[in-house]
Amino acid sequence: MLDYALLSALAAVIRTGGFDRAAQQLGLTPSAVSQRIKLLEERLGTVLVVRGQPCRATESGLRLCQHVETVALLEEDLQDALPAAGLANPQVPLRIAVNADSLATWLVPALAAVPERLFDLVLDDQEHSADWLRRGEVLGAVTGYGRAVQGCDSTPLGALRYIATASPEFMARWFSGGVTEEATAQAPCLTFNRKDRLQQLWLEQAFGRDLAPPTHWLPSTQAFVDAALAGLGWGLNPEPLVAGHLKSGRLVPLRANLPLDVPLYWQQSRSVGTALANLRKAVRAATKETLQPIAVE
C-alpha cells in the first residue's frame, strides 16, 4: 500500500500551491513537508511537484493527488461505523467541473446549501465538462452530456434558456433593415471561447446555416452581458441574467420567440456517492426554479 501520510503532504502542497501554506494546514514545518515530498518522489522514482510560484503538480503528482482526495472522501463513509475516529476531512475540497453560465446563474446557492463542504470548481464548456469526469480529474460535473459516464450516475436537471440579445443602439446600427441573413453575416457577435458553439447553433436555428459572422472573444459570462449592453456585439445570454434588461429595454432579442434551450445534466462518480449526496440534492433544488423542464429520454 502507498504511504498516506506522505500522500496527504503531497495533496496539501498541490492544493495550496506552496510548501509554507501546506505546512500550516498540516500543522508541520515547511521543511518536514519538503522532506515528505522528497521521500515520496524517491520511493516512486518520479518528480511529483514542480517547485515554483505557485507549485504545480506533474502529471503523476496530479493523479496521486486525485487518488488521495478520493480516498479521504471514501473514509467519510466509515464515519457512522466509527464515530470516534475523526474521519471527516474538512480540508479536502470536492472538485467539480461546471460550465461558466451555470456558475453565473444557479450554482452558488446550491453550493451554499452544503455548508460542511469546500468546493474546487473547474470551468469548462458544457460540451466538454464531462471529459474531466472521464479523465478522473473531478468527482462531479454539470454537463450537456446526458448518457452516464462510466462509473457515474447522471441526473437530468433541465435546460438553461439563452436569448440572442443586443443593445437597441447596436440593433439600429447593424439591423436597421431587419435581422436578415446578409446583415447577420456582417454584424459582430460575441463568442465565449473556441469551444462555444451557442451562437452557431442559434444561427443554424434562425437561418438554417452557420453564417460565421465576425466575432469578439470574451471568456466571461458577466462580460458577455456587459458587452451586449455596451453595444460591442450580439450574443447568446442566459435568460436569468438578461430578463431584467429585456424588460427595461436596455437589451432586445434579435428575434422574438427564438430562444435556445441547452439541456444540462448532473453527473457524479459512484465511488464517492455519500460525500456527493447532499450536493446532488442541492443542485436539483436550485435548478428546479432556474431551468426549463426537459423531456427525459
Between residues 133 and 156, which has the closer beta carbon with respect to a second copy?
133
Least gap, CB of 27 to a second copy (angstroms): 11
* 284 scored as a contact of a second copy (CB under 8 A): no
Residues 65, 232, 276, 282: which binds a second copy (CB under 8 A)?
Answer: 232
* 231 scored as a contact of a second copy (CB under 8 A): yes
* 226 scored as a contact of a second copy (CB under 8 A): yes
State the greatest distance between any 2 C-alpha atoms of the chain, in Å, as a whole number. 73
Q: Which amino acid is at 49?
A: V
List the alpha helices (DSSP H) in the chain: 4-16, 19-26, 30-44, 59-75, 100-102, 108-112, 129-134, 168-174, 181-186, 198-207, 221-229, 239-248, 273-290
Q: How far apart are CA 126 and CA 264, in angstroms?
A: 8
Segment contacting a second copy (CB under 8 A): 19-27, 30-38, 79-87, 152-160?
19-27
Q: How far apart are CA 107 and CA 105, in angstroms?
A: 6
Q: How far is CA 237 from CA 14, 141, 274, in A?
A: 35, 21, 35
* 206 scored as a contact of a second copy (CB under 8 A): no
Residue pair 96/129 in contact by the 8 Å Cβ criterion: no
Residues 217, 244, 277, 281: which binds a second copy (CB under 8 A)?
Answer: 217
Residues 4, 28, 47, 56: which binds a second copy (CB under 8 A)?
Answer: 56
* 194 scored as a contact of a second copy (CB under 8 A): yes
Q: How far is CA 159 from CA 243, 293, 294, in A?
A: 16, 6, 6
* 240 scored as a contact of a second copy (CB under 8 A): no
Sign, CA dihedral 282-285-289-291, equals positive
Between residues 110 and 156, which has the closer beta carbon with respect to a second copy?
110
Least gap, CB of 229 to a second copy (angstroms): 8
CA dihedral 73, 77, 80, 86 (to 10 degrees): -30
Between residues 5 and 230, which has the closer beta carbon with respect to a second copy?
230
Q: Show the binding pattern over residues 73-102: x = contacts a second copy (CB under 8 A), - = does not.
A: -----------------xx-x------x--
Least gap, CB of 40 to a second copy (angstroms): 20
Least gap, CB of 194 to a second copy (angstroms): 5
* 230 scored as a contact of a second copy (CB under 8 A): yes
State the DSSP H helix or E strand holding residue 159, giving kind and residue range, or none if neither: strand 152-166
* 118 scored as a contact of a second copy (CB under 8 A): yes
Segment contacting a second copy (CB under 8 A): 111-119, 153-161, 244-252, 267-275?
111-119
Residue pair 78/31 in contact by the 8 Å Cβ criterion: no
Q: How far apart are CA 57 and CA 80, in angstroms?
A: 34
Q: How far apart are CA 255 and CA 165, in angstroms?
A: 9
Residues 66, 221, 269, 290: which binds a second copy (CB under 8 A)?
Answer: 221
Task: List residues binding a second copy (CB under 8 A).
Answer: 16-17, 20-22, 24-25, 54, 56, 90-91, 93, 100, 103-104, 107-109, 111-112, 115, 118-123, 185, 188, 194-195, 200, 210-212, 214-223, 226-227, 230-232
